Every structure is written in C-alpha cells, then in structure tokens.
Structure 1
Amino acid sequence: FCFGTQTLFLQTLSFSFSLKSAFDNWRKQNALQTLKEENEALWKMFFFYNLFQDDPCPKCEEDWEHHRGKCYYFSTHKLTWEKSRNKCRDKGGDLVKIDGRNEQRRLREVMIDDADKFWIGLTDSEEEGQWLWVDGSPLDESFWGHYQPDNWIWEDLKGEDCVRMGEKDGAPDLNCWFDKSCQVPHRSICEKPEKNHQNVSECV
C-alpha cells in the first residue's frame, strides 16, 4: 500500500511539473508573440511618423531645394552672370552645373512661367566656342535651343558668352539653353552638395 501511494505521489508530482513546464512554455511563447506584435506596431508608427514629418536632419538649407544629392537655389533677383555667380559663392555654392538629362529635366520642371529664365554655370568667355562649366570642366551633354548658340551681337558687341535656361515662346522640351550677353540681368540657379550629417546631434 505504501509503495502504491508513493508511486501515485511521484506520478502526480511528475504531472504537476509537466503541467507547470507546459504552462511556462505557453506563457513564454505568448509573451514572445506579444513582444513581436508590439515591435511590428512600433516600426509601423516609426515609418509613418517619418513619412509625414520633416527630416530631423534636412539635407539643404531653408529656401534650397533638394534633388539627388544636390541643393538648388532659384534666385528671385536679376543680376548679370558674374554678379549672379558671386551671389552663389556667397551662399556656399556656385552657378549650377548640369550633369545630364535627369538634372536638366528636374530644373526644367520648375520653369512654368515666361519669366522663368535663369543663368547657369556655363560660359565660353575664355575662348569663343569652347564652352566650360564654372568648375573648369568642358561641356559634354548639351541642351541647346534651336539655332543655338548663335553669339548674336545685338545686345552686346562682345557677343553672347554666357548661358541662360528658359525662353519666352521657346522650346517646350529639354532643349532650352540660349547663349546671352553676360551683362544682361537674369535670375540664376545656384547649386551645392547636400549636407552630410554623421549623426542627429549635428543637425541645425
């Protein structure tokens, strides 16, 4: 009788341990699943917060537009080509250098009015016909308007040694460059690299 009682006690104890172990496993799995769901919910909140909030580390300064690693400033004042370039330098940049079709398209999209005519950083002032960007690199891909450049001397007897984007009743496509007298005042497009923040504490 004592041996049977002892066996029953051990079986009951073993069952109790098994039941406790099963309950502990269920509780751990349930807690793990809850943590997983909470983690997914937090990530969703983080994603949508960043989707609709301003970047805590803006790539460009106020009044500058960001596009593919560059910052652009579209001036509102009309100046000569040289004075426009000096203004861009004062802002830490230079007149825009257009590196290809994608950049030309992006800048062209901004020009929706007849008055949208902007100096860009291209000139042949050093040698006629040898077009150079402000960084000294030669012109590669170009987007000249019809019959451009023509070096017309009507506005300036020295000819037309600077390049402007945009033209009233001009080409509606990407080919909207025109050589103009550098002394005629126009608006301009400045360009500089985007800010490279190493961490959030560097944001200003």
Structure 2
Amino acid sequence: MVHFLKDTVKTTNTFLLLFNGQQDRIDKSLQQMLRELQALFGETIWLNIILCFTFWPYDKTSIARRNSTGKTETWKINDFNLALQDKYGIKKNLSAVFIDSYARKDFSLGDKTQQLYFETEMEKLWNLTNNFQSFPLRTIQDVLEEVYDLRGENGQLKLDIQQLESDLKEKERKIQSQQDSISKLNSELKEKEWKIQSQQDSISKLNSDLREKERTVESYKSNVCQSNSFNYDMGTGICYKIIKEPLSWDDARERCRGWNADLISIHSQQENNLVFSIAKRLGRQTWIGLNDQAQEGSFVWADKSSVEYKNWHYQIPNGGRSKCVCVWYTDGIWDGHGCNYKKPSVCKL
C-alpha cells in the first residue's frame, strides 16, 4: 500500500476514513491500518484526515430514534474523536461527515429528507477537502534519507559559512561607518522635527480659531434665517422656506422674491436630499428654481447661480413648450413640467 501511495498516487490533500455508522467502536483492522499510516507518514497525517460514517440513514424514524437515545451526529463525532485521541495522541478534533450508503438507491430517492441530508453532507465533504492543502506522500524513511544527504553537504556549507562570516565582518565595518553618518543625520532630523512640531502647534491653533469662527458664522446664519422667518439647515448651510400652497412656477418665484429670496437652486446631492425630504413630507412634486424660459432646452437657475449638479429623471427634457423643473416626492429625481402647473415650492434666502 505504501509503494502504491508513494509511486502512483504521489500527492493528495485528504485521507477519508470510512466507519460503519452502526458500530460504536473502531475495529482492530482499522486500528492496525491507522497505526501503520501514523508510523509511515508521521503525526502530520492527522491534519488531513476526515471521518466518514456510512450506513447513517436520515429517514424520519432513524432521526427520531437517534434523538431519543442521544446518539446523534454530535455524540458520534465526539465519541470517535475521544477514542482516536486516547489511542494515537491526536491533538485536534477531526471533522466528520455522515453519508447514508443507500441514499441513492431507488427505494430512497423519493424520501426528500433523506436526499436533502445526503446532498448537504456531500457538499460539506467537498468544502472540507477544498480547505486542505495538497502534500507529497513521503514516509518517515524518505525524510531520514533526505537528512542523510543533507549531512553530506554539511562540510561544504561550513566552508561557505566561514567565507560568509568574513564577508559579514567587512560589511559590519561599512555599516558602522554608515551608522555614524546616520547618527549625524538623525541629529539634524530632530532639529527639523522640532521646527515642524512648532509649525504644527501653530497650525492647530489656527484650525481651532477657524472652527470657532465657523461656529460663529453658523450661528450668525441661523440667526439671520430665523429673523427672516426662514428655516436653517446645518448640513447644507441653506436658509429655506416652504410654500405649501400650490402655485404656478412664476407665482411661486414672485412669492419668494417678496421675501428677498428666490426659488431654491441645488448644487450637491446633500442639497437635493434636503429638497427631496421636503417634497416627501408634502407628498407633492415641488418646484425648484431650474427653468428654460429664456431659451428652450437651456436650463438655468432662477438665482443666476451656475448649473453644475444635475439629477434628471432620464435625460434633460426637450421639445415642446418651456419647462420649469420640479423634484419628485417619491425619489428626489428632477422632471420638467409646464410652468403653469400649480405645485408647492421651496425658497432659498
């Protein structure tokens, strides 16, 4: 068997030990085979062994019987692992699968429970073997012969080591010279680090001052918004007011301009999310400041800001009469409608 494994199989990644699931102990013939494998291939063979219990039916009657006696799959695995650890000094618990030898027979194919467990255990076996690394089948004697050959090379290695030691001393001398240079550079580096730290302290102070000023600006913006009866959104820094009354686009803009504001322009996803949240609460499409009233197909913001961010439904509307843009309350997408339609709107201060 050993010559067959070494000369024909040569490499493997898994040894599958088959046990009769109806037996509670390891028989003597299997014990002898395991001792031979361990003696020939060493302790590492246990790293690539999987236990496979056959004659393990999964019909409902068998499952109920095992559950009532306590002799379940978990019990079986633990019992056999304890036996193997006691007899062979194994340091790990071996993985196991349970495969009913009759599962693929004609009289079992109609049993869905039986087939489900069979497929599950086969998939488990496949996954376990894929996690093992392949290794050459070498006996302990093979390893000893390799060691003997290595000893023959030892004399030449000693000579090589002596030459390496001589070369090492020369390199150590050069390294010492380089270390002296490095020490000088380290001293200069520490001086520069001190200067950098001083600059970083100054930058930290400036950043602290900047954050304080930003908080002051945010507070000022919020106060300005409130003084004009507008809402303030901290995430976008926008002062806005909602016109719930449905108006045409032009009437909505005129209402905004009466508050020294204009229909809202949107320049980022975050700003679009703000308008979307408003439209969603209102449950209506909501006017924004984008329109092509001046030139059909050329959309501009009412407040004259640049058009950079876009969130059209499919593509920019074209053809037909002039269009004004609204935000859908279902998904925040833009769409062009006739400007005379009446909708809620959002003003931006």
TM-score interval w.r.t. the shorter chain?
0.5 to 0.7
Q: Which of 294, 305, 312 lines up with 1:144 in the alignment? A: 312
Distance 1:150 1:73, change over 3 A: same
Give me the whole-angstrom Cα distance separating, in 1, the residues matched to 2:253 and 2:230. Answer: 16
Residue 84 of structure 1: how far off its partner (Å): 0.5
**Counterpart-to-counterpart distance in 1, 2:336 and 2:284:** 16
Is the aligned partner of 1:166 residue 2:328? yes
Tell me the amino acid that sits aligned with residue 65 of structure 1. N
RMSD: 2.6
Alignment map for 1:15-34 (pairs within 5 Å): none
Alpha-carbon displacement from aligned partner over 1:22-66 (angstroms, at most 9, x marks no partner): xxxxxxxxxxxxxxxxxxxxxxxxxxxxxxxxx9x7342375321
1:129 aligned residue (290, 297, 311): 297
Query: How far apart, CA to CA, are the structure 2 residues paired with 1:107 and 1:160?
Result: 23
Question: What secondary structure, in the 3-state scheme, does the structure 2 residue paired with 1:126 have?
Answer: coil
SS in 2 for 1:125: coil
**Which one has a bigger Cα radius of gyration?**
2
More helix by share: 2
After superposing on structure 2, the runs of 4+ consecutive aligned residues of structure 1 that deviate more than 4 Å are: none
* Equivalent residue number for residue 10 of structure 1: none
Code of the residue aligned with 2:301 in structure 1: it is W
Choose the corresponding residue for 1:64, options 230, 252, 255: 230
Does the residue aligned with 2:271 lie in a helix, a strand or coil?
helix
Question: Is residue 190 from structure 1 mapped to residue 319 from structure 2 by the alignment?
Answer: no
Q: 1:60 to 1:138 in 2, by over 3 A?
A: closer
Aligned mates of 2:281, 2:239 — CA distance in 1:
22
Unpaired runs of 5+ in structure 2? 1-219
User: What does residue range 52-91 of structure 1 map to in structure 2 within 5 Å?
Assistant: 58-61=223-226, 64-67=230-233, 68-91=236-259
Distance in 2 between residues matched to 1:116 and 1:63, nearest whole Å: 23
Distance 1:69 1:188, change over 3 A: same
SS of equivalent to 1:58: helix
Q: Secondary structure of 1:164's partner?
A: strand
User: CA offsets, 1:134-177, max 9 Å, x none?
Assistant: 123442210111x343347xxxxx5241001115xx5x3x4x11
Please list every run of 5 or more consecutive structure 1 residues that lacks an aligned counterpart in the other structure: 1-54, 153-157, 193-204
Q: Count residues with an aligned counterpart.
A: 127
Aligned-pair identity (%): 26
Moved more, 99-108 or 61-70: 61-70
Give how far 1:114 is off.
Answer: 7.1
SS at match of 1:121: strand
Query: Partner amino acid for 2:335?
Result: F
- Higher relative contact order (CA closer than 8 Å, sequence separation 6+): 1
CA contact (8 A) 2:247 2:341 kept: yes
Q: Contact (CA 8 Å) 2:265, 2:289: kept in 1 or not?
A: yes
Provide the secondary structure at the position in 2 that maps to 1:60. helix
Residues 63 and 118 of structure 1: is their aligned pair in 2 closer, same or farther, counting only changes over 3 Å?
A: farther
Give the TM-score taking structure 1 as reference length: 0.55
Q: 1-side partners of 2:262 and 2:243: how far apart? A: 12
User: Residues 143, 91 of structure 1: CA spacing in aligned structure 2 closer, same or farther, 3 A cutoff?
Assistant: same
Q: State TM-score, norm by structure 2.
A: 0.33
The verdict on how the C-alpha distance between 1:88 and 1:143 changes in structure 2, with shifts beyond 3 A counting, is same
1:116 corresponds in structure 2 to 284
Q: State the alpha-carbon separation in 2 of the partners of residues 114 and 137 from structure 1.
A: 26
Secondary structure of 1:143's match?
A: coil
Query: Is the 2:279–2:286 Cα contact (8 Å) retained in structure 1?
Result: no
CA contact (8 A) 2:292 2:300 kept: yes
Change beyond 3 A, Cα 1:135–1:114:
closer
- Cα pair 2:275 2:327 within 8 Å, conserved: no
